Amino acid sequence: MVTTEIKKGLANLEVFSATLQALAETDKDLYVVTSDSRGSGKLVPFGQRYPDQIVEIGIAEQNLVGVAAGLASMKKKAFAVSPACFLTARALEQIKNDVCYSDNAVKLIGISAGVSYGALGTTHHSLHDYAVLRAINNISIVAPADNFETEQAIRTAAKMDSPIYLRFGKKNMPENLAPDDGSFLIGKGRVLSEGNDFVFFATGEAVWPCVEAAQLLHEKYNLSATVVSMHTIKPLDTNLIKRLASAGKPVITVEEHSVYGGLGEAIASFMMQEGLHNKLKIVGIPDEHTVHGSQNEIFKHYGLSAEGLMNTAISMIRP
Amino acid sequence: MKTLDTLQLKAKSAEYRSKILKYIYNAKAGHTGGSLSITDILNVLYNRIMNVSPDNFDSNDRDRYVQSKGHCVEALYVVLADQGFFPEEDLLTLCKYNSPYIGHPTKGVRGIEQNTGGLGHGLAICCGNALAAKKDHSGVKVFTILGDGEMAEGSNWEAFMFAAHYKLDNLCAILDYNKLQITAPNAEVMGLEPIDKKLEAFGWAVRHVDGHDIDALTNTLSSLPFEKDKPSFVIAHTVKGKGVSFMENTLKWHHGVPTDEQLQIALAELSIESPNQVPA
Of A52, A68, A101, the CB nearest to B128: A68
Name A274's Cβ contacts closer than 8 Å, sequence gap at least 6: A238, A242, A245
Q: Which residue of B has its CA nearest to A62?
A: B155
Residue of B nearest to A30 (CA): B132
Quickly count: other Cβ atoms within 10 Å of residue A112's Cβ.
28
Instruction: Give the percent of chain B with pLDDT over 70.
Output: 96
Phi-psi sector, A200: left (phi>0), alpha (psi -120 to 50), beta:
beta
Residue B195: pLDDT over 90:
yes
Flag whether residue B271 sits within 8 Å of chain A, measured between CB atoms.
Answer: no
ipTM of the assembly? Answer: 0.95
pLDDT tens digits along A109-123: 999 999 999 999 999
Q: What is the pLDDT of residue B278?
A: 42
Give residue A5's pLDDT: 76
Q: What distances in angstroms separate CA A155 from CA A9, A44, A266, A291, B122, one per listed residue?
A: 19, 20, 26, 35, 30
Residue of B68, B114, B116 to mutate when probing chain A, most A C-beta within 10 A = B114
B121/A63 Cβ within 8 A: no
Tell me whether residues B128 and A69 touch, CB distance under 8 A. Answer: yes
Mean pLDDT, range B235-264, rounded to an integer: 96
Class of domain A8-174: alpha beta
Mutate to test the interface with B, among A62, A103, A106 (most CBs of B within 10 A): A62
pTM (global) more than 0.90? yes
Lowest-confidence pick of A3-7, B72-76, B104-108: A3-7
Same fold, A8-174 and A190-314: yes
Does A308 have pLDDT greater than 70?
A: yes
- According to the model, what pLDDT value does residue B263 have? 97
| Interface size between A and B, measured as CB pairs under 8 A | 94
Nearest-CA distance from A120 to chain B in Å? 26
Across the interface, whether the CB atoms of B128 and A66 are under 8 A apart is answered yes
B129·A73 Cβ contact <8 A: yes
Residue of B nearest to A56 (CA): B162
Determine which of A29, A94, A102, A107 to mutate to test the interface with B (most B C-beta atoms within 10 Å). Answer: A102
**What percent of chain A is modeled with pLDDT above 70?**
98
Cβ contact (<8 Å) for A94 and B124? yes
pLDDT digit string, tens, across residues A145-199: 999 999 999 999 999 999 999 999 999 999 999 999 999 999 999 999 999 999 9
Report how far apart, in Å, the C-alpha atoms of A165 and of each of A82, A96, A138, A160, B88 are: 11, 12, 11, 12, 39
Classify B6-273 by CATH class.
Answer: alpha beta
Q: What is the pLDDT of residue A318?
A: 86
Q: What is the mean pLDDT of residues B169-174?
A: 98
Q: Is the pLDDT of residue B121 over 50?
A: yes
Q: Does B127 touch chain A (CB under 8 A)?
A: yes
Phi, psi of B42 (to 5 degrees): -65, -40
**pLDDT recorded at residue B2:** 55
Is domain A190-314 given the CATH code 3.40.50.720 in the classification?
Answer: no
Q: Which of A134, A283, A131, A261 is nearest to A200 (CA)?
A: A283
- Average predicted confidence (pLDDT) for chain B: 96
What number of CA atoms fall less than 13 Å from residue A123's CA on the CB side? Answer: 1
Enumerate residues 56 to 115 of chain B having a beta carbon within 8 A of any beta carbon in chain A: 60, 107, 113-115
Q: Map out the domains of chain A as residue ranges.
A: 8-174, 190-314
What is the mean predicted confidence (pLDDT) over B64-86?
Answer: 98
CB pair distance less than 8 Å for B124 and A98? yes
Q: Is the pLDDT of residue B79 over 50?
A: yes
